[in-house]
Structure 1
Amino acid sequence: MNVRRLIPTTALAAAVALGATALTACSGTAGAAGTADGKLHVTASFYPLQFLAEQIGGDHVKVDTLTKPGVEPHDLEITPKQTGQLSESDVVLYLKTLQPAVDKAVEQSGVKNVVDAATLTKLEVHGGAGHEGHDHAAEGEAGHDHDHAHGEAGEDPHVWLDPTKYAEIAKGFGAALEKADPGHAADYKKNTDELVAKLGALDTEFKDGLKNTASRTFITTHSAFGYLAERYGLDQEGISGVDPEAEPSPARMKELQAVAKKDNVTTVFFETLASDKTAKSLARDTGLTTDVLDPLEGIGDRSQGSDYFEVMRSNLKNLQKALGAK
C-alpha cells in the first residue's frame, strides 16, 4: 500500500451538517418540489452518485444524471440543455474536481441546494504505483492523476470504490435529503440505513475474499483503485496513471515487468470505458493475462453487472482470481 499522506478535510459529522444546511432553501415537503409529480428533482453528476440518490430517495425523488451510460465521465462536456436541467433542480449532487465541466456548470447554474460528495468523507492522496512506496511521479512518471485537476494537493476522488467511504457519503446525503424534505425524512433515513447495511456487507465480502492471497499486487491501466487497495491491504500498480489509454514509457513498462515477476502478478487489468490496448500490450510482453477491473464511473453494455453492487462483486471475483485467493 502507498498512501503518501492524508489530507485533512472537514470531519464527517460537520460535513453532514454542512450538507444538510446547504439544502435548507428547499425545506418543506416533496409536494413543493419543482417536478410536475411533486417529487424532489435531484441531478447527479455521474453514475455512483446517481445510484446513491436513487437508493436513498426512492419513490420521493426524480433523479437525472449529467453523464449518460457509456460516457467516460472525465471527458464529459456539458450541453446548454444540461445546464438548464441543472438550474431547474431542487438538489444537485456532485463530486467537486472530478469533472471540471460539471464544476463550472454547477457554479453558473445558480442552484443553491448543492451537495459536494467530497465534503462528506475524507479524501486522500494516493500514489500511482503503490509498490514498496515507490513514487513514480518523482521519477518522471505520472502518479495518481487524470488529465483533469483533482482536489487540493492531488486528492484522489475515487472514494466510491471503498464501500466504507461510499457509506459515509450515503449517510451525509441521506441527512441532506431529510432536511430538504422533512415530510419524508423517515423514509430517507430507512433507505439510508438499508444502503449502509448493504455496503457494510459488501465490505465484509471484500475483507474475507481478499484475506489470503498468493499476491497482494495488481496492475491496472487506470490508477483509480487507491482507496480499495488501502482498505484491503493491496498494492496498486498503475501503468500510465494520467490517462488509461496513454502509452507508458519504456522505462515504466520495464519496471512493471520486474514487479510482475517479483510479486507473482498474473493479470493486467483494464476498464470497460477505455481501450484495453495498453493492458494487452503489457500482458503480451510479460506473458500475463488480462481481465476487467471496473472503476464504476458508469454502467454500459460491457459492464459486468447492472448496478453498483453487481459490478463491485465482479471486481472482487476478478481480483480473487488474479491474486490467487485461497
Structure 2
Amino acid sequence: MNYRRILGGMALVFLLVIAGCGGGQKSTVVEGKVNVMTSFYPLYDFAVHIGGAHVNVVNLVPAGVEPHDWTPKGRDIMNVGDSELFLYQGAGFEGWVDDFMKSVKDKKVKAVEASAGAHLLEAAEGGDGHDHQHGGESHGSSPADLKNTDPHAWLSPHNAKKMSENIKNALIEVDPAHREDYENNYEAYAAKLDGLDKLYQDSLKDLPKKEIAVSHQAFAYLCHDYGLTQMAIMGLSPDSEPTAQDMKKMREYIQEHQLQYVFFEELVSDKLAKTLAKDAGVETLVLNPLEGLTEEQIKEGQNYISVMENNLKNLVKALQ
C-alpha cells in the first residue's frame, strides 16, 4: 500500500478546506496576460520560451525544492483555479495531481498533461536502476495507458520538443489572438532542441565508454536516446533507500566497467554518492535530472538547454 500517496491525499483535502476559507492568500495571477501554472521546472521553462511576452508563468514548486514528494498548498490551488492553463508532466510524476484536479474542476483553468503523446519508457525492472536495454522498452502511448512508467520523459530532447508542442497548442487554444507568435516561438525553440539533440549525438557517439553510475534512476530517456546504460544507487524516487547489497552491486559495476565517476544531483543529498565514490576509489560529478533549479542557478540565468549542455560536458568527461 502506498502510504505516502494516501497521506498526501489526506493533506490535500485539508488544504482544500483551508483554501476555501480564504486566509489572505496572495495571488500570483496577472491581469492582461495568459496565466500559466506549472507543476515543475522544465514545463515552466518551455512555457516561458513559447509564451513569450503574452504569458505570466509561475512554477508551483519553489526553487531548490525536489518535486517528487512536493504537494500543493492552499494558495497553489487558488492560483491554479484562477489561471488559464495548468501544465503538469503526467506519466506518474505528480502523485498529487488527481486529487488536485478534482479541487479545480469547476474553475476556468485548462489542465494539460504535457507528456501526452511523448515517447514513454517502462521503468527498469528489479528496482536496482540497471537499464539493460538503454532505458527499457519504448512506447508512443499516453501515460494513462501505461503501468510502471518512468516519468522522467523531459530528459530526452525529442520528448522536450513534443511537450513544447503540446504547450504551444494549449496556448493557442486559450489565446488564439496570438497564435502566430506562439507558432513562431515554438519553431525557434524546437530548433534549439534539435540542435541540442545533434550536439549530444555528435559528442557521445564515438566515446569509448557507454555506462554511467548515477545516484538517482532518472536518466533512462537520456540513455535510450544516446546508447548509454545507467546503474543507479536509488530508484525512480531520489529518496528511496538502497540496501547494502545495492551498494555492493554498484561497486562491482563501477569496477567491471572501469568507471571513474559517480554522478549525483544538486537537489538531494550527495552523501550516498560520495560514500560510494570513496569506497570505489573514484570521483563524483553532477548530472542534473532537471527536476528543479537552485536559487543560484536561476540567478545565473540557467535554463533547460544550458543545464543539458552542462550535463553533456560532464558525460563526455566521464565516458572517456
CA contact (8 A) 2:33 2:56 kept: yes
Please state how far the C-alpha of 1:133 moved relative to its aligned partner.
Answer: 5.5
Q: Give the match for residue 116 of structure 2.
A: 119
Q: Which residue of 2 aligns with 1:12?
A: none
1:94, 1:115 within 8 Å by CA — same for their partners in 2?
yes
**Deviations 1:236-270 (CA, angstroms, capped at 9, x unpaired):** 11112154344422222222222112212111011
When residues 134 and 166 of structure 1 are mapped into structure 2, their CA distance, relative to the original with a 3 A threshold, is closer
Cα distance, 1:37 vs. partner? 3.6
Q: Which amino acid aligns with 2:96?
A: A
Would the alpha carbon gap of residues 227 and 59 (structure 1) be closer, same or farther in structure 2, given more than 3 Å must change? Answer: same
**Higher mean C-alpha deviation, range 267-276 or range 171-180:** 171-180
Which one of 65, 71, 75 corresponds to residue 69 of structure 2? 75
Which of 95, 99, 104 is equivalent to 2:94?
99
Q: Output one character per residue of 1:181-226: Cα deviation in whole Å (capped at 9) or x when no partner.
A: 1110000000000110000000011111111112100011110000
Which letter does structure 1 place at the counterpart of 2:114? A
Question: Residue type of the partner of 2:235?
Answer: G
TM-score, length-normalised on structure 2? 0.81
State the alpha-carbon separation in 2 of the partners of residues 278 and 243 from structure 1: 14
Contact 1:244 1:275 in 2 (8 A): no
Amino acid at match of 2:130: G
Q: Over aligned residue pairs, what C-alpha RMSD do you find?
A: 2.3
CA deviation after TM superposition for structure 1 residue 106, in Å: 2.5
Structure with the larger RCO, 1 or 2 (CA within 8 Å, 6+ apart): 1
Matched to 1:311, the amino acid is: V
Counterpart position of 1:257: 251
Contact 1:213–1:323 under 8 Å retained in 2:
yes
Runs of 5+ consecutive residues of structure 1 not aligned to the other structure: 1-33, 136-148
Counterpart position of 2:130: 130
Match of 1:153 among 147, 161, 164: 147
> Take 1:229 and 1:261, find their aligned partners in 2: how far apart are those partners?
20
Percent identical:
37
CA distance in 2, matches of 1:74, 1:151: 21
CA distance in 2, matches of 1:108, 1:190: 34
Any runs of at least 4 consecutive aligned residues in structure 1 with deviations exceeding 6 A, and if so which? none
Q: Distance in 2 between matches of 1:36 and 1:305?
A: 23
Tell me: CA distance 1:45–1:235, structure 2 relative to 1, closer, same or farther (3 Å). same
TM-score by length of 1: 0.80
Stretch deviating more after TM superposition (315-324 or 124-133):
124-133
Judge conservation of contact 1:98–1:150 (CA < 8 Å) in 2: no
Distance (Å, rounded) in 2 between the aligned partners of 1:314 and 1:94:
25
Question: Among residues 209, 217, 221, which one is paired with 1:227 in the alignment?
Answer: 221
Q: How many Å separate the matches in 1 of 2:217 and 2:131?
A: 13
Return 5+ residue gaps in structure 2 as ranges.
1-27, 136-142
* Matched-pair contact (CA < 8 Å) for 1:83–1:109: yes
For residues 286 and 225 of structure 1, what CA distance do their matches in structure 2 show? Answer: 22
